[in-house]
Structure 1
Amino acid sequence: MSRPDMSLAVVGAIHENKDRSNRLFEIRLCVPGEAVDLVPEPKNPFDPSAIAVWSMRGVQIGYLSAERCGWIGSRMAQGEEIRAIFQEATKGGAIIRISFSGIDPVLPPARPREPEPCPHDDETGFYPDYIPPDD
């Protein structure tokens, strides 16, 4: 029986890759719904169960969190087809969506964005001058 799609955090995005490419920059290039690759790293010196996350352009964007690597890695080792797509960028990394059913995962509905703060300071009563758009 297959599990439902799930969203997972991508960690380690603040570190640069061995080839000096910038993971955070690559994350900003990713589009929700584009494929990402999950690559086990059994020779990783810090965690033999590490699973790297790579963009469709072949640039590493980070790793699955240590709490999930062992479980996901064991399912991959058993031959289960796990597919992953980019879901969204976060402040210090990203979120990916994975599917255990062998078909592409489905993105969840987009979360509503928080409204921009009001441009005035209620305590001082300061209101910025209106600046008309350039024509």
Structure 2
Amino acid sequence: MSLAVVGAVHENKDRSNRLFEIRLCVPGEPVDLAPEPKNPFDPSAIAVWSTRGVQIGYLSAERCGWIGSRMAQGEEICAIFQEATKGGAIIRISFSSSDPILPPARPRKPQARSLDEESGFYPDYIPPDD
């Protein structure tokens, strides 16, 4: 199951940058899920931490209650980093201690050609000043 990681635009208490940490994560890398029952905004919040011990965000509020209740019942949930998104990330989880599997990679859109290549314009060579 793929889940959104939200709140990545906020910095951590130690002032580390969550978006920067997400950019360091590699698809398939393990992430940790940690319930935060003393979270002042949402007692069912579940924090998501990278393997380097930096928080990258939270599971969305819609999923926290369900995932948290399964964790409270002692069910082991394994999680891996799936991909970065514009304002956060997506993680992949599995239940009953089975390893999560990444879905096939989405094909990337071809890069647009630069204006110079399309127009055929190439500037004159300017030698360096000595």
Q: Which runs of 5+ in 1 are unaligned?
A: 1-5
Q: Which runs of 5+ in 2 are unaligned?
A: 125-130
Aligned mates of 1:128, 1:86 — CA distance in 2? 43
Please report how far the alpha carbon of residue 56 of structure 1 lies from its aligned counterpart in structure 2 after TM superposition: 0.5
TM-score using structure 1 length: 0.85
Which residue does the alignment assign to 1:85?
A: 80
Show CA shifts across 1:78-121 (max 9, x none).
11110000011111111100001312201010001111123249
Which residue does the alignment assign to 1:3?
A: none
| Structure 1 residue identity aligned to 2:6 | V
Aligned length in residues:
123
Query: For residues 1-135 of structure 1, what are the structure 2 equivalents within 5 Å?
Result: 6-120=1-115, 126-129=119-122
**Bigger radius of gyration, 1 or 2?**
2
| Structure 2 residue identity aligned to 1:92 | G
More helix by share: 2
Please report how far the alpha carbon of residue 128 of structure 1 lies from its aligned counterpart in structure 2 after TM superposition: 4.5
Task: Indicate the SS of the match to 1:94.
Answer: strand
Aligned mates of 2:90, 2:56 — CA distance in 1? 11
Aligned mates of 2:122, 2:23 — CA distance in 1? 33
Aligned mates of 2:123, 2:2 — CA distance in 1? 42
| Structure 2 residue identity aligned to 1:129 | Y
TM-score using structure 2 length: 0.88
Percent identity, aligned pairs only, is: 83
**Residues 105 and 128 of structure 1: CA distance in aligned 2, closer, same or farther (over 3 Å):** farther
Aligned mates of 1:37, 1:98 — CA distance in 2? 10
**Residues 74 and 130 of structure 1: CA distance in aligned 2, closer, same or farther (over 3 Å):** farther
